[in-house]
Amino acid sequence: MTVLVSVWGAAPGVGKSTLCAGLSRSLADAGLRVDHFREEEILSRSEFAAVAEEFGATGAVGLETPAAATERYVASVLAAGDDVVVADALVPFVPTLLAMGHGEEAIDAFMTDLTGVLAPVRPVVVFLDGDAGAALSRAVEREGPEWLDRYVGKLAAYEVSPSVSDLASAVTYLGRERAVTLDVVRRYGWGLIVVERVDELTPGEVLGAVEQGLKPWLPQLP
C-alpha cells in the first residue's frame, strides 16, 4: 500500500527540503518506487493546476479546490504504482487555510474530507520541530535579507492572526501554525513523526531519526 510522507517544520529554514531530498534517495536505494513532490511543484503539477489558477485569479482558494486537487493527485500516484510519496509541505494545507482566514470549524470540515481522500495512501506527517527564530535566521543567511522582507510582507498581506509585521511577530505566528498542524494531524488519526530540536542535529541525524520512525509504515526499510 502506498504511503504519503508529508514533511513540515517549525519554520522555513528548518531543513524540510534537505530532508525530503535525502529521504527520497534513501527510500529509492531501499528498492522503493518514490515520487518526490517538491514544494514549488504545487504550481506546476497538472493535478494542482486549478489551485494555482484560482489563487492567481482571486488571491484566495476555496476549501473544495485543494481537496479536489489532492484527490486527483492520489489517483495519479495509485495509477503510477508508487510505493511512497515524499512531499515537501503539501498536506494538510494548514498554512493556506490559516492565511485564507479559515477558523476551527472550517478547518475541521476540510480535514474530514481530506482524511477520506488520503485514506488510500496512508498519510504520515513528519514534523521538524525546533527554534523557529533560528530557522528563519538560517533562511536569511541562505537567501539574503530581502527574503525576510518578502516573507514578512506575504504574511502581513494575508492578515493572519496573530498579525505579522517583523521577525518576532512572524515567530509568534509560526507557533500558531505549528499548534494547529500538530493538533489536526493527531485528532484525525494520521501518522505523525516529530523530530525535536532539529536545530541541534545534523542533516544525517535528522534523516536517521525519520527513517527509524517510518519503519512501522515502511517495513522494507533496513
What CATH number is attached to the domain comprising 200?
Answer: 3.40.50.300
How far apart, in whole angstroms, are the C-alpha atoms of residue 63 and residue 175?
Answer: 23
In a domain, 220, yes or no: no
Instruction: Looking at 131-166, list the stretches that DSSP marks H as alpha helix, in order from N- to C-terminal side.
Output: 132-143, 145-158
In a domain, 81, yes or no: yes
Residue 189 has a CB neighbour count (10 Å cut-off) of 9
Give the pLDDT confidence of 73-131 residue by residue, as tens digits. Answer: 999 999 999 999 999 999 999 998 998 888 889 999 999 999 999 999 999 999 999 99
Half-sphere exposure at residue 3, Cβ-oriented, CA atoms within 13 angstroms:
22
| Range 31-43 average pLDDT | 92
pLDDT in the model for residue 52: 76
pLDDT in the model for residue 140: 93
In a domain, 221, yes or no: no
| Range 4-8 average pLDDT | 98
Give the pLDDT confidence of 47-71 residue by residue, as tens digits. Answer: 988 887 887 677 677 889 899 999 9
In a domain, 42, yes or no: yes
How far apart, in whole angstroms, are the C-alpha atoms of residue 109 and residue 85?
Answer: 25
How far apart, in whole angstroms, are the C-alpha atoms of residue 169 and residue 11?
Answer: 13
Give the pLDDT confidence of 187-220 residue by residue, as tens digits. Answer: 999 999 999 999 999 999 999 999 999 999 998 7
How far apart, in whole angstroms, are the C-alpha atoms of residue 11 and residue 139?
Answer: 9
pTM greater than 0.85: yes
In a domain, 214, yes or no: no
Total tally of structural domains belonging to the chain = 1
In a domain, 212, yes or no: no
Domain span holding position 181: 3-207
How far apart, in whole angstroms, are the C-alpha atoms of residue 86 and residue 121?
Answer: 12
pLDDT in the model for residue 219: 81
pLDDT for 1 beyond 90: no
Name the residue with cell 543567511: 141
pLDDT in the model for residue 42: 84
pLDDT for 222 beyond 90: no
Name the residue with cell 517549525: 10
pLDDT for 29 beyond 80: yes
Please name which of 90, 101, 116, 37 lies closest in space to residue 63, comparing C-alpha atoms.
Answer: 101
Residue 186 CA: distances (Å) to CA of 15, 117, 127, 180, 209: 22, 17, 12, 10, 19
pLDDT band at 22 (very low <50, low <70, confident <90, very high): very high
Residues 6+ apart with CB under 8 A from 112: 188
pLDDT in the model for residue 34: 97
| Range 12-37 average pLDDT | 96
In a domain, 7, yes or no: yes
pLDDT for 147 beyond 80: yes
Torsion of CA 161, 98, 52, 186, to 10 degrees: 150
In a domain, 48, yes or no: yes
